[in-house]
Structure 1
Amino acid sequence: MRNDLADRRAARGWSQGRLAEELGVSRQTVISLEKGRFDPSLPLAFRIAALFDCRIEDVFTPDAS
C-alpha cells in the first residue's frame, strides 16, 4: 500500500517524532508507515485521516494488482 504520509507530515513542518506523538504511536511505527513496510490498523488509519482532516483513501492507496 502506498501513502503520502511523509508529504502531509512535511507540509505541517512536523518531525516523525511529532507525528508519532499526535497519533499515539512510536516513531518507528511512523517510519515503517512512511516507507510502506507497515499497513496501519483500521483504527490507526482513521486517526491519521482525522488528524489530516481527510479520508483514509486520500492518504492510502492500494498497490495495483
Structure 2
Amino acid sequence: MVYFHDIPDEVIDNLIEEGITFNVAGGLMLEHPLTLPFVEAVVGATDTVMGLSKALTEKLIWEAQQQ
C-alpha cells in the first residue's frame, strides 16, 4: 500500500501526457521522478507494491526445492 501527499494537477497532466499512466498497474510508478516526491509512506517492501515480493518468491522457491 502506498500513501501519497496531494499530487498537483500539473503533475498529473504531465504523467498523462507522458503516457506512463497507461503502461503500469494502478496508473502510477512509485519510483517515477514526477511521483516520487509525493510518496508519503509505503507499507511493506517496495517490490511488493510493484508486483511480487522478491523475498517471498525466493522463500517459496527454496521451500519447493527442499521437497
* TM-score when normalising by structure 1: 0.32
Higher relative contact order (CA 8 A, sep 6+): 1
* TM-score when normalising by structure 2: 0.31
